[in-house]
Structure 1
Amino acid sequence: MIHQYKNNGFNIVLDVNSGAIHVVDDTTYDVIALYEKHDKEGIVCKLKDRYPERLIEECYEEVKELADSQQLFTEDEYENYIMDFKKRPTVVKALCLHIAHDCNLACRYCFAEEGEYHGRRDLMSFEVGKAALDFLIANSGSRRNLEVDFFGGEPLMNFQVVKDLVAYGREQEKIHDKNFRFTLTTNGVLLNDDVMEFANREMANVVLSIDGRKSVHDYMRPFRNGKGSYDLIVPKFQKFAESRNQDRYYVRGTFTHHNLDFADDVLHLADLGFQQISVEPVVAPADMDYAIREEDLETLFHEYDKLAAEMVQRKKEGKDFNFFHFMIDLEGGPCVAKRLSGCGSGTEYLAVTPWGDLYPCHQFVGNEEFKMGTVFEGVRNTELRDEFKCCNVYAKEKCRNCFAKFYCSGGCAANSYNFHGSINDAYDIGCELQKKRIECAIMIKAAMAE
């Protein structure tokens, strides 16, 4: 399978199964488009009105050489591999600790209902958090590196327990020969010098929530009294990013139907001095006024193209920044299992509520159908776990013939379920945006290689 497209003056050809990427001239591009269904004479006949016959023949031979060397039109070798996934032992390597089912903001698009997650407000106790870390260690097998994300709601509303759990984790590292990678997601309202000092010492990564321009951010992320939060958090975030040497953090925003010109929000964040940026499309029911709609897609495609071109220009000027969705590894990349099955939700990665219930990920929390067990008793719903084990690009008809499948790994299971009632489907708008982001990411790599 190959995927061909043009972007920012580049003719790009992706061989999906090998991952090989070719930047080619117009003649070669058109020869490749005809190669599988026509022989050399047929291709010459179809293209001779556009290009000299000798040039077409030379390009044909070059394409044939690439195909013979397994760099074009390669066969899919992965489908049989995926059949063994259900048999693999389950090793838990990451937990999302809902340290606080409460929040001090009232974000309009919040899937967590201001931190309540379709339930009640609560803060995780040290005892529950301790049991969660013990569960992770006990179910991690021989894996040494483990990840724990402090999430909410707003985790800094329960900061003392965060500190106590990190201290407990550091003690357990020595006992069990494990290495904890702690991360934190915060809206910044309670961020202060003490939190920054602690995070810089203990947190491998910190996600700072901000949507972009002041008008955009304050509209979607106000306090409960309606007042905006932009002016309070921006100076804190700038100070924090500098204290981490512009590394090991992301400013993370959400764009909606109300700011389809989101590239301006990304560039606004870059102009504020942030070098690690992620701004993602909202995922919401179609009846919400801020939801992304199918008719918005062409506008959003243009925004991604505009952003990618601007990033190329800024990099050449020495003013570059990282945009999370354009970061792509074309050489090593994730392992085969990760490329085929994604984030590992429901198997390797689980979410923990303040009272210790286990769910496949934070987006399933509150849906009792997806409760998997508790940190005290372990995973009891093994049938659901096996269903998540088998959630992969070959279990999804929409993914099988999609060029992006080995980059997005089939997309988000929660989004699939929320829009289609099955974890083995795909959220269509999200798919289209993901494919565009991958195209832009590859173009940026091509531009930087010049």
Structure 2
Amino acid sequence: MSVLLQIGRRPPEREPRPASGAAPGPLGLDAETRVFRSAHGAHLFVADGSRIYDLPEEAADRLERWTAAAHDPAQDADLAAGLGLPLWGGAGMPAPRIDGTPAAVPPLSSLSLNVMQACNLSCGHCYADEGRFGGSARAMPRETAFAAVDRLLAEAAPDAAVVVGFMGGEPLLARDLVHEVVAYATRAGAATGHAVRFALTTNLTTVRPADAELFAAHPFTVAVSLDGDRAGHDALRRAPGGGSAYERLRAGLEVLERHGRPRHLSARVSVTPYTGRLLDILEHGIGLGFDEVGFAAVVSAPDPAYEIGTDTFTGFLQQMVECGEAALRELAAGRPYPFGNFQTAMYELHTGGHRPYPCGAGAGYLSASAEGGLYACHRLVDDPAFAMGSLAQGPDQGARAAHLAARHVDRAEPCRSCWARYLCGGGCYHEVTRRGRPGCDYIRGWLAFCLRAYVELSQAAPEFFRNPTASDLPGDPAALAR
């Protein structure tokens, strides 16, 4: 078998982990491999290390027929050896890069502050219930916000870069506090030797010139909630007094253009059953000048009418692939096309991205509530099942370790037998705890398309992979699988 593409740098080899901490061994070829085809022929995806190989058509056909038919899983290793598949153990083969051993709790590297748990818009699909998370509206006191910065710097690895995020509700309703925290964190980080970056998620309806100047003066990633053109956006986002939330967003973009643009400006589209054609929305967002436009299905919302269900994921996948095909055509021709979901997938595959968790929630990333509680992420604020300590007492290392042990993808069902598990990581914790995993077929379908697109883009425009663009938004869950 000849290697088609050695994806980026191979992960470092390591000694096998103790069996006492591991999940059961290899599950079989259907869980460890995926045959796919591109314009260049047949290929093999190996889950361990997210490796891609050229595969002779005869071997591809035999492997597909074998995994589709009933067979004794004990014979999989013999077939793999006969075909020369680079899989498990044996002479000259490395130990698996991921097993069921939970990750060690890492130093904290990113902390989001829920500075205003209230919002000026009313959106039925908002996971945060306008920032209230099922409770009452409240704002983070100044001393709590400063304590959050101190805690992040104290818990971070020496000299490591850290990210301070601002979430809500609508964080710019607490703009004075945001400005104060940026100044404080910049000074404090310089004193401790930590480079501090910032991220903010906003509906952009209340941004002022001073905010734009702040974003431009500091290393900021700003993510803007966008639901389409004026009709589509206003149908899902109700402004007080009956005004147009879309026109206010457009006015906010003009403020950024006149007074200062952040280092990275992205649009995030929350997809509901009421969302219009995704390709139209994608191109509309690109036309508005965003550096990146991405989609996320609304799987859990206070009003179930806004949730994407199992029956509607098929249409969602078709539309996502339509957007991906457009991105592939443009990028292969050397033209920019900032479809965030596609670009994230391409870079992750190219660098051999593979992980046993969907994101850094509860690991290197935590979120602070207005009262100073620490939670696994900004979507899980005020959820006692994901409480991770407090700013006053520090992160609860036991709770973080238990979280990482319980949610390792090799210990989850049905995840542990899925070929896409190390690209997906098991799914967003917020969504899984509330809705289960209704989107697994969608995720596999999207990733299967991305595998083909990666091979074709690598051949058509290898220069694309020399200048990656990545978002600094903290705690972004399972972007590759979206």
Pick the TM interval, shorter chain. 0.7 to 0.9
The correspondence for 2:391, drawn from 356, 370, 375, is: 375
| Partner in structure 1 of residue 351 of structure 2 | 332
Contact kept in structure 2, 1:17 and 1:76, CA below 8 Å = no
Structure 1 window deviating more from structure 2 (130-139 vs 18-27): it is 18-27
TM-score when normalising by structure 2? 0.76
Which letter maps to 1:64?
Answer: L
Secondary structure of the corresponding residue to residue 199 of structure 1: helix
Distance of aligned partners of 1:184 and 1:443 in 2 relative to their CA distance in 1, 3 Å threshold: same
1:432 positional shift = 2.7
Structure 2: segments with no counterpart, 5+ residues: 1-31, 70-78, 461-482
| Change over 3 Å in CA distance of 1:244–1:28 after alignment to 2 | farther
Shift of 1:79: 4.7
**2:452 is the counterpart of 1:433:** no
What is the aligned partner in structure 2 of residue 48 from structure 1? none
Residue of structure 2 equivalent to 1:395? 411
Task: Look up the SS of the partner of 1:196 in the other structure.
Answer: helix
For the structure 1 residues 238 and 17, does the alpha-carbon distance in structure 2 shift closer, same or farther, using more than 3 Å as the test? farther
Distance 1:75 1:9, change over 3 A: same
Amino acid at match of 1:209: S
TM-score of the aligned structures, taking structure 1 as reference length: 0.81
Deviation of 1:252 after TM superposition, in Å, equals 0.9
Partner of 1:272: 288
Kept in 1: contact 2:239–2:245 (CA 8 A): yes
SS in 2 for 1:294: coil
The one-letter code of the counterpart of 1:359 is Y
Q: Following the alignment from structure 2 to structure 1, what is the Cα–Cα distance between the partners of residues 52 and 169? A: 41
Higher alpha-carbon deviation: 160-169 or 310-319: 310-319
Q: Please tell me whether residue 163 in structure 1 is matched to residue 175 in structure 2.
A: no
Conserved? CA contact 2:88–2:96, under 8 Å: no
For 2:179 and 2:262, the matched residues in 1 are separated by: 23
Quote the Cα distance in structure 2 between the aligned partners of 1:221 and 1:428.
27
184, 200, 207: which one aligns with 1:184? 200
Match of 1:130 in 2: 146
- Counterpart Cα distance in 1 of 2:454 and 2:164: 32
User: 1:258/1:23 Cα in 2 relative to 1: closer, same or farther (>3 Å)?
Assistant: farther
CA RMSD of aligned residues (A): 3.2
1:36-435 alignment runs, 5 A limit: 64=83, 67=86, 77-80=96-99, 82-83=100-101, 85=103, 88-142=104-158, 144-237=160-253, 240=256, 248-259=264-275, 261-284=277-300, 288-326=304-342, 327-328=344-345, 329-334=348-353, 339-380=355-396, 382-390=397-405, 391-419=407-435, 427-435=436-444
State how far apart, in whole Å, the 1-side matches of 2:304 and 2:322 are: 27
Q: Which residue of 1 aligns with 2:13?
A: none
User: Does the Cα contact within 8 Å between 1:238 and 1:272 map onto a contact in 2?
Assistant: no
Q: Distance in 2 between matches of 1:205 and 1:385?
A: 27
Once the two structures are TM-superposed, the CA of residue 101 in structure 1 deviates from its matched residue by 0.8
| Shift of residue 247, structure 1, vs aligned partner | 5.7
Q: Which amino acid aligns with 1:199?
A: F
**Cα displacement (A) at 1:193:** 2.5
* Structure 2 match to 1:3: 34
Partner secondary structure for residue 312 of structure 2 = helix
Deviation, 1:357, is 1.3
CA distance in 2, matches of 1:25, 1:410: 31
C-alpha separation between the residues in 2 aligned to 1:127 and 1:247?
28
For residues 25 and 239 of structure 1, the distance between their equivalents in structure 2, rounded to whole angstroms, comes to 56
SS of match in other structure, 2:48: coil
Paired with 2:88 and 2:154, the residues of 1 have a C-alpha distance of 46
SS in 2 for 1:330: helix
- Measured in 1, the distance between the counterparts of 2:87 and 2:395 equals 48
Match of 2:452 in 1: 443
CA contact (8 A) 1:154 1:187 kept: yes
Aligned partners of 1:61 and 1:137: how far apart in 2? 48
Structure 2 letter corresponding to 1:389:
L
Q: Retained in 2: the 8 A contact 1:100–1:158?
A: yes
Residues 275 and 444 of structure 1: is their aligned pair in 2 closer, same or farther, counting only changes over 3 Å?
farther
Greater RCO (Cα-Cα under 8 Å, separation 6 or more): 2
Q: Who wins on radius of gyration, i.e. which is larger?
A: 1
Further displaced range: 224-233 or 178-187:
224-233
TM-aligned CA deviation for residue 147 of structure 1: 1.3
1:355 to partner: Cα distance: 1.8
1:67 to 1:95, Cα distance in 2 relative to 1, 3 A: closer
* Percentage of pairs with the same residue: 23
- Name which of structure 1's ranges 90-99 and 221-230 shifts more when overlaid on structure 2: 221-230
Contact 2:40 2:456 in 1 (8 A): no
The 2-side partners of 1:68 and 1:346 are apart by 31
* Contact 1:277 1:321 (C-alpha < 8 Å) held by counterparts: no
Does the residue aligned with 2:379 lie in a helix, a strand or coil? helix
Corresponding residue for residue 19 of structure 1:
50
Q: For residue 309 of structure 1, what is the amino acid of its counterpart?
A: E
How far off its partner does 1:162 sit?
A: 0.8
Q: Which runs of 5+ in 1 are unaligned?
A: 39-59, 420-426
Instruction: Indicate the residue corresponding to 1:44 in structure 2.
Output: none
One-letter identity of the residue aligned with 1:331: H
Tell me the number of residue pairs that the alignment of Structure 1 and Structure 2 aligns. Answer: 412
Q: Which residue is 1:29 aligned to? A: 60
The corresponding residue for 1:424 is none
